[in-house]
Amino acid sequence: MPYFKKIIFLCFLSIVSQAAFALNADEFLPPNQAFKVSAKVVAADRVEISWDIAEGYYLYRNKMRFESKNQQIRLGDPGFPAGQTHHDENFGDVVIYRNILNVPLALTVENGASSLQLSVQYQGCADRGICYPPQKTTFDLKLPEPAANAKVDPVKQLLKGNQSLKLNLFEDELLPPDRAFEFFASVKDEHTLHINWHIAEGYYLYREKIQLELLNADGVKLGNYDIPRGAPKQDEAFGLVETFHNELDFDLPLIRSGTSAQPITLQAKYQGCADRGVCYPPMSKNIDLALPVALQPEVKEAVEPELSEQDQIVQSLHKDSFPITLLSFFGFGLLLSLTPCIFPMIPILSGIIVGHGNRITTGRAFLLSLSYVLASALTYTVFGVLAALFGSNLQTTFQQPWIIGLFSAVFVALSLSMFGFYHLELPKSLQVKLHNSSEIHRDGSLLGAAIMGALSSLIVGPCVAAPLAGALIYIGQTGDAVLGGSALFFLGLGMGVPLLLLGASAGKLLPKAGNWLNSTKAVFGVIMLAVAVWMLSRILPGNVIMMLWAILLIFPAIYLSAVDPLPEDSSGWRKLWKGLGLMMLAYGLLLLIGFSLGNSNPLKPLQGLGVSTAQAAEPGIVFERVASAALESRINQAAANHQPVMLDFYADWCISCKEMEAYTFADPQVKRALKGYALLQVDLTNNTDDDKALLARFNLIGPPAILFFGLDRQEKTAHRVIGYQDAETFIKSLQRSKL
């Protein structure tokens, strides 16, 4: 009795729903328009049923039925894509489909059947609460003729040899590529595609050979996606790889710039083999898909990938107003002025100011500093714009050995003038011409400061950092040299603020006359020599530089009376200088001993001796140097070994690179955090054509830059590290890259 009551209730429900539909027929689409169904043959053993579902309507998955009217053709299980979970008042929690639905259906064809009569039943509803009665459609489909199997003549094969017979028999048994690896794609929702492979028994697909791309898809691109992990396999051709058997499916996120419906084409490239050892050539298949209307822009933005710091700066250049952009870059410059790349400019400018002796005033010192900073910022801007427009980092170009040597010689010449060996000034004839323009210009000091500022901006600094990289990328992308160049100029001004403060205070702090002035000039002469040695360390061997540092410490120590006895009535200042001289002499001698031991690190002159080795700090991490040609294969090898990759861009002339090496990478916590990574490094010191091409490939300006690659071999662009980071900050960057 309860069974008959249930049937009566369902019949009543059907009658009521049909009556409701009839009463509101003018408000709802007819079922054949609400759910446009079609069927097509995609292979000799597979058909695909598709629905174009109108906006505001949906289909039930559990109400779909497929039936073959041909006894010679059996249907396999339908390949339903993932749908949406919906709570239905009548049926409870069900899976529904909206917009576009494609259902592949496998066929088993017997006795050479050439046509299929397919019955399709489905049921759907409108969002406004009206459900349609079950719909039923029959399709008459003509099947393609199966490929004729090549017949083997045993006699001929025996004449050709048993081995030939064996190979041909095996070849005849192999499935065609489309049957061995059947690829399907469908639209899951407006921002997601779902793809899957049906892999025949006895066949497998390579994970590493899967490549996906969108064609004819204006305003639509693939987001970051993860291919599931496969089974590890040692392959004779490709080494350690991952493979898939039976089935592979996953989602592809889409990033859309528009909201309207549009067609796209998904291209899949893949390769697989049969277990018996026969491999197929690389395959490619294109599938046309129809994207429905997208969600509102705020929903779309939620699925966009995270941007790296320099990409965020590029985006702000596109969006922010002109004054806000300039103010932001001035602030970036202030932050960069605290980096080690700017420190060498301080003794350079100080030496220029001190070189004027008792003629210097506060106003004059400030004008010298302003001339130095403006020339540095202008040169920085002009060459930065040219570098962005023409794709060449001119600061890198100025790291040639002969240029470094020439500029170091300039500093040696300046230092010798500080010691009083000669006086640097313009020719008298030129001084007379400049005298008429202004009293300040009578010795060409502003011009000299400007020249030194311009050269310093190219050879000494600044460091590559996210703001600089962002501005240069923006100029390169848009060609907007006005906005990009203005941003670079204000960046340079911000970096010059400490130098301007130095100039404003120098006139008050420096002594006006007497022996103090000579002593001050001698101190800055030594500092100038230190800058020359520091620059030469980019191009000379480490042990030679160690010897130069020893000389630079020992000779000034002699002048500070390090080896002379002090009179009994010596002042406290004299004793202080002698103590400083003794320290310099002692450390200089240690450097000479280290040089004789073959060491090259001035901070560890006795490294290699028993006592020193026991107390030495733990060495930093060791990178594997790779050339640009071998980089791709090394990343693939690391992924096969289940290792993420950290790729470091380094150069001997890069100050921040040396600082990262000495402090960040030597930190024990950093080394522990990097366990399990494949640590690769590209050396850009020589700035070869391959180096330039590699920088262009990753859209980098220069070192330092650190890139991370996941197990999918894709770079995590949002987590790039551009510029120097201390150990604590770098560990946080590592943690973010693992998310």
| 3-state percent helix, strand, coil for the chain, nearest multiple of 5 | 45, 25, 30
The answer to whether position 606 is within a domain reads no
Tell me: do 325 and 294 sit in the same domain.
no
> What pLDDT, in 10s, does the model give residues 330-358?
887 787 777 666 666 766 666 666 655 55
Q: Which residues are within 8 A (CB) of 150 and not within 5 positions of it... i.e. 6 or more apart?
A: 168, 172
Euclidean distance between CA atoms 528 and 552, whole angstroms:
11
> What pLDDT, in 10s, does the model give residues 629-650?
888 889 989 988 889 999 999 8
Residue-wise burial string across 301-310, b where 16 or more C-beta atoms lie within 10 A, e elsewhere = eeeeeeebbb
- Summary mean pLDDT of the chain: 75
Tell me: do 483 and 348 sit in the same domain.
yes
Range of the domain at 448: 316-512
pLDDT given at position 611: 47
> What pLDDT, in 10s, does the model give residues 702-714?
788 899 998 888 8
Strand order in the sheet with 272-274: 231-235, 239-244, 203-206, 272-274
Least Cα distance to 448 among 360, 367, 532 occurs for 367
Residue bearing the bigger pLDDT, 115 or 488: 115
Least Cα distance to 125 among 193, 59, 32, 195 occurs for 59
Q: Would you say the C-alpha torsion 551, 553, 556, 561 has a positive or negative sign?
A: negative
Q: What percent of the chain is predicted at pLDDT more than 90?
A: 9
Euclidean distance between CA atoms 675 and 712, whole angstroms:
19
pLDDT confidence tier of residue 6, bands split at 50, 70 and 90? very low
pLDDT given at position 12: 44
The answer to whether position 501 is within a domain reads yes
Euclidean distance between CA atoms 661 and 511, whole angstroms:
40
Does the pLDDT at position 572 exceed 80?
Answer: no
The answer to whether position 540 is within a domain reads no
Euclidean distance between CA atoms 645 and 636, whole angstroms:
10
pLDDT confidence tier of residue 587, bands split at 50, 70 and 90? confident
Do β-strands 211-215 and 262-270 pair in parallel, antiparallel, or remain unpaired?
antiparallel
Residue where a domain stops, chosen among 497, 512, 527: 512
pLDDT given at position 270: 94
pLDDT given at position 268: 93
Euclidean distance between CA atoms 373 and 379, whole angstroms:
10
Euclidean distance between CA atoms 369 and 62, whole angstroms:
79
Does the pLDDT at position 91 exceed 70?
Answer: no
What is each CA distance from 559 to 377, 419, 516, 527, 554, in whole angstroms?
A: 38, 12, 15, 15, 9
Tell me: do 220 and 363 sit in the same domain.
no
Euclidean distance between CA atoms 266 and 659, whole angstroms:
46
The answer to whether position 602 is within a domain reads no
Tell me: do 237 and 298 sit in the same domain.
yes
Torsion of CA 160, 163, 166, 169, to 10 degrees: -40
Residue bearing the bigger pLDDT, 647 or 316: 647
pLDDT confidence tier of residue 467, bands split at 50, 70 and 90? low
Does the pLDDT at position 26 exceed 60?
Answer: no
Tell me: do 289 and 404 sit in the same domain.
no
Does the pLDDT at position 38 exceed 80?
Answer: yes
Tell me: do 45 and 109 sit in the same domain.
yes
Tell me: do 370 and 482 sit in the same domain.
yes
pLDDT given at position 438: 35
Q: In this structure, what are the phi and psi dihedrals at residue 244, rounded to the nearest 5 degrees?
A: -125, 140
The answer to whether position 286 is within a domain reads yes
Does the pLDDT at position 680 exceed 90?
Answer: yes
pLDDT given at position 311: 66
The answer to whether position 528 is within a domain reads no
pLDDT given at position 559: 73
For the chain, what is the domain count? 4
Residue-wise burial string across 400-409, b where 16 or more C-beta atoms lie within 10 A, e elsewhere = eeebbeebbe
pLDDT given at position 169: 42
Strand partners, 235: 239
The answer to whether position 531 is within a domain reads no
Residue where a domain stops, chosen among 302, 328, 358: 302
In this structure, of 92-106, 416-430, 641-655, the range with the lowest mean pLDDT score is: 416-430
Does the pLDDT at position 396 exceed 80?
Answer: no
Residue 590 tokens, joined: 């240690």
Tell me: do 354 and 278 sit in the same domain.
no
pLDDT confidence tier of residue 621, bands split at 50, 70 and 90? confident
pTM for the full predicted model: 0.44
Q: In this structure, what are the phi and psi dihedrals at residue 45, rounded to the nearest 5 degrees?
A: -125, 25
Tell me: do 444 and 321 sit in the same domain.
yes
The answer to whether position 3 is within a domain reads no
pLDDT confidence tier of residue 90, bands split at 50, 70 and 90? low
Tell me: do 344 and 487 sit in the same domain.
yes
Q: In this structure, what are the phi and psi dihedrals at residue 73, rounded to the nearest 5 degrees?
A: -125, 125
The one-letter amino acid at 519: S
Tell me: do 241 and 380 sit in the same domain.
no
Sequence-ordered alpha helix ranges (H) in 537-570: 542-559
Euclidean distance between CA atoms 312 and 135, whole angstroms:
52
Euclidean distance between CA atoms 153 and 151, whole angstroms:
7
Tell me: do 707 and 677 sit in the same domain.
yes
Does the pLDDT at position 73 exceed 50?
Answer: yes
Tell me the CATH number at 52. 2.60.40.1250
Q: Which residues are within 8 A (CB) of 540 and not within 5 positions of it... i.e. 6 or more apart?
A: none
Tell me the CATH number at 713. 3.40.30.10
Does the pLDDT at position 71 exceed 60?
Answer: yes
Residue bearing the bigger pLDDT, 559 or 735: 735
Q: Which residues are within 8 A (CB) of 409 and not within 5 positions of it... i.e. 6 or more apart?
A: 532
Residue where a domain stops, chosen among 454, 484, 512: 512
Euclidean distance between CA atoms 130 and 90, whole angstroms:
12
Does the pLDDT at position 433 exceed 50?
Answer: no
